Amino acid sequence: MKRKILSLFLCSVMLAVAACGCGVDNNSEPDSTADSVGATENLSEGFDWEKVKQDITFEGKKIDFPFCVNDLGKGYEMDYIYDSLFEEKCCDGAVVKVNDDGSEEKVCYLFFDGITAEEYTDDTKCTRISNPESLTVQGIGKGATLEEAEKIFGTPYKSNDIFFYYLSKTGTERIELRCDKNTKEVKNIEITLNFKEY
């Protein structure tokens, strides 16, 4: 019995010593990445959101981000709005442009954090936009190259053959580019505020 108690005591001492950081060089420089983006891949310095958000266009018009459907002007309306299947108090929907002949075309998808579909109004500011055709950020939009994007957004912190993800310096804004697998030209751009890595 005494041997078991002594073994447990020695184990607890060893764990305590390890937890205290025994053997760490206190004169070494702090890790500059320790407080950055967290558990992400290929960390980069990130882009300056305050600068980037000054040049966002939608359908050829400059917009402030975040924005609401009413900010888009006459002819734009929410086609539908649904509660998210994946997040609590989050909803999303498609925005349509009503043409002069009465026909409608989907122009983007908007996402709203912190509200349900029932609480949504056309004055609610979006927290994410995805648009395949007419959204540009600092001139980067459909048809832009990855080289052009990296001059504005830096190195993607995560990517694969199609998707390239860029984070702001604070890690709270994300720009996602979906590109053609062969040409690496941008096909779709998405902006997310209050970004969280799941």
Q: What number of helices (H) and strands (E) belong to the chain?
A: 3, 11
Q: What is the mean pLDDT of residues 6-28?
A: 36
**Per-residue pLDDT tens over the stretch 46-73:** 999 999 999 999 999 999 999 999 999 9
The reported pTM is 0.73
Q: What is d(CA 168, CA 40) in angstroms, rounded to the nearest whole number?
A: 13
In this prediction, residue 44 carries a pLDDT of 54
In this prediction, residue 1 carries a pLDDT of 42
In this prediction, residue 198 carries a pLDDT of 60
In this prediction, residue 87 carries a pLDDT of 82
Closest alpha carbon to 93 in 46, 129, 143: 129
